Amino acid sequence: MAGSKIRLLMAKPGLDGHDLGAKYMARAFRDAGMEVIYTGLQQTPDQIVAAAIQEDVDVIACSILSGAHLGLMAKLMRKLGEKEIDDMLVVVGGAIPKSDIEPLKAMGIAGVFPTASSPQVAIEFIRNHVKTG
């Protein structure tokens, strides 16, 4: 429906135990008018996909600081493919070297936001790319 809120799942995949950035971004997305569901720490790709389906979200936003972003995001995208979910916008932020941005995009990650990225850049990207209604 037109004008509906963007529903976003904020996820912390893997064994990364630092969630300050994820909570900061969740608040920024909420303050920008999005409905945010936060999965909590140490989620598996299976758990993230299950939560995204259950919550009927438009966006999966992952925050990864552990350096395991390539492997974790590959597994997440594979799980989405297995569930035949191809219209979900997936973005990732965190400690991501510039050299890993293109490999992440090649696997289907729509937006990549390294730690120095402004929250407003991620917010505008999501607003411009999410499929609602």
**pLDDT per residue over 52-65, tens digit each?**
999 999 999 999 98
Q: Which pTM value belongs to this model?
A: 0.93
> pLDDT digit string (tens) for 64-98?
988 899 999 999 999 999 999 988 999 999 999 99
33 and 4 Cβ atoms separated by less than 8 Å: no
Q: What number of other Cβ atoms are within 10 A of residue 15's Cβ?
A: 10
Domains annotated for the chain, with CATH where assigned, are 7-129 (3.40.50.280)
Residue 1 has pLDDT above 50, yes or no: no
The two three-digit tokens of residue 104, written as one number: 């992440």
